[in-house]
Amino acid sequence: MMNKTPSTPAKIELGHVTHLYLSSNRAFMAVKDINLRVEEGEFICLVGPSGCGKTTLLSLIAGLEQPTSGKILIDGNRVTGTSSQVGYMLQQDYLFNWRSIEDNVFLGLEIKGIRNKETEEYALHLLDEMELIDVRKSSPTQLSGGMRQRVALVRTLACQPQILLLDEPFSALDYHTKLKLEDLVFTTLRRHKKTAILVTHDLSESIALGDRVLIFSRNPGQVRTELTIPAPIRHALPFEARNQEGFSDLFQYVWKEMEVLSDAAKGD
């Protein structure tokens, strides 16, 4: 944990957050009594079996849904709806095929009504950073999966959010692309000093990228274990972090935790 006085509001704070999904035949508790403090610039990873409410948590923080009970604060202010402070990246790129790459990137600016020369230039600068400036006039269908996901990242970053919610953004990519994109996202977020929460299935990814890893159990979704990643691994690029001393011990530890959870799930 970072040494900050508790009086200053955290970047993101969740207090006793519980969320129910209601349908005509049942009320399903997706997450139960989640407490979480994320400081500015932190990178948090959420792992856990599927159906443990990780994506629900992101939707709640993004303001897409309101928690059934509990509170969610960003900079000390209650979240009541989507905000331009929070950017969201989905599992797939979901680029709009009927728009060119640059028009896809400008989408957020258009929706927020802030599309002008200056913001466009910033977006194009980001596109350039991701080595995509040459394809700005292309159609998304002409791009590879990795390129498309990079465009999606630029689309999210173009609105200059301070917080990034990443919902398994690497899981649909092939392994090689995934490793390269992890490094790129990691350095980009560090450089732009963003706070990030990443949901992933990949345990080694969570250790390589995160400052802290939260392991969730399911039915209902709860935080089971919290793991702080030691500095050498935390500061290394994700690709190099995997070769750092102590990485495999951490992996073994998380792996065992997950095993316990899946054994418990079998007993259901």
Partner 1 sequence: MQPKEIEAVHQRYLKKEGRTRSLVFITQILLFLVFIGLWEVLSRTNLINSLIFSYPSKIVALLWAQLADGSLLPHVGMTVWETVVGFVLGTLIGTLIATVIWWSPFLSRVLEPYLVIANSMPKVALGPVFIVLFGPGLVSVIAMGLAISVIITTINIYTSFREVNPNFVKVVQTLGGNKRQIFTSVILPATIPTILATLKVNVGLSWVGVIVGEFLVSQIGLGYLIIYGFQVFNFTLVMMSLAIIALVATLMYQGVAYLERRLTSQFK
Q: Which amino acid is at 38?
A: V
Distances in whole angstroms, Cα of residue 207 to Cα of each of 123, 163, 188: 30, 20, 18
Q: Minimum Å distance from CB 88 to partner 1?
A: 4
Region near partner 1 per CB under 8 A, out of 46-54, 94-102, 118-126, 220-228:
94-102
Q: Which stretch of DSSP H or E encloses residue 239?
A: helix 238-241
The residues, ordered by sequence, that sit 6+ positions from 193 with a Cβ below 8 Å of its Cβ are: 40, 41
Residue 265 sits at φ, ψ, to 5 deg, of -65, -35
Nearest residue (CB) to partner 1, 98 versus 175: 98
The residues, ordered by sequence, that sit 6+ positions from 161 with a Cβ below 8 Å of its Cβ are: 84, 85, 86, 87, 194
Q: Minimum Å distance from CB 19 to partner 1?
A: 17
Judged by CB under 8 A, the residue of 18, 83, 171, 177 near partner 1 is 83
Nearest to 89, CA basis, from 184, 212, 219: 184
Judged by CB under 8 A, the residue of 73, 107, 236, 265 near partner 1 is 107
Nearest residue (CB) to partner 1, 7 versus 24: 24
Judged by CB under 8 A, the residue of 27, 97, 116, 117 near partner 1 is 97
CB 155 within 8 A of CB 143: no
The residues, ordered by sequence, that sit 6+ positions from 145 with a Cβ below 8 Å of its Cβ are: 93, 172, 173, 174, 177
Judged by CB under 8 A, the residue of 16, 71, 112, 235 near partner 1 is 112
Q: Minimum Å distance from CB 159 to partner 1?
A: 7
The residues, ordered by sequence, that sit 6+ positions from 230 with a Cβ below 8 Å of its Cβ are: 246
What residues between 134 and 193 interact with partner 1 by CB under 8 A?
139, 141, 155, 159
Judged by CB under 8 A, the residue of 20, 29, 73, 90 near partner 1 is 90
CB 96 within 8 A of CB 105: no
Region near partner 1 per CB under 8 A, out of 8-16, 32-40, 105-113, 203-211:
105-113
The residues, ordered by sequence, that sit 6+ positions from 213 with a Cβ below 8 Å of its Cβ are: 44, 45, 46, 47, 206, 207, 226, 227, 229, 254
Q: Which amino acid is at 21?
A: Y
Applying CB under 8 A, does 256 fall inside the site for partner 1? no
Nearest residue (CB) to partner 1, 138 versus 225: 138
- Bridge-based pairing state of the strands 222-228 and 212-217: antiparallel
Nearest residue (CB) to partner 1, 148 versus 212: 148
Number of shown-chain residues binding partner 1 (CB under 8 A): 23
Judged by CB under 8 A, the residue of 21, 96, 239, 255 near partner 1 is 96
- Site track 30-69 with partner 1 (rule: CB under 8 A), x = hit: --------------------------------x-x-----
Task: Tell me which residues touch partner 1 (CB under 8 A).
Answer: 62, 64, 82-84, 86-88, 90, 92, 94, 96-98, 107-108, 110-112, 139, 141, 155, 159
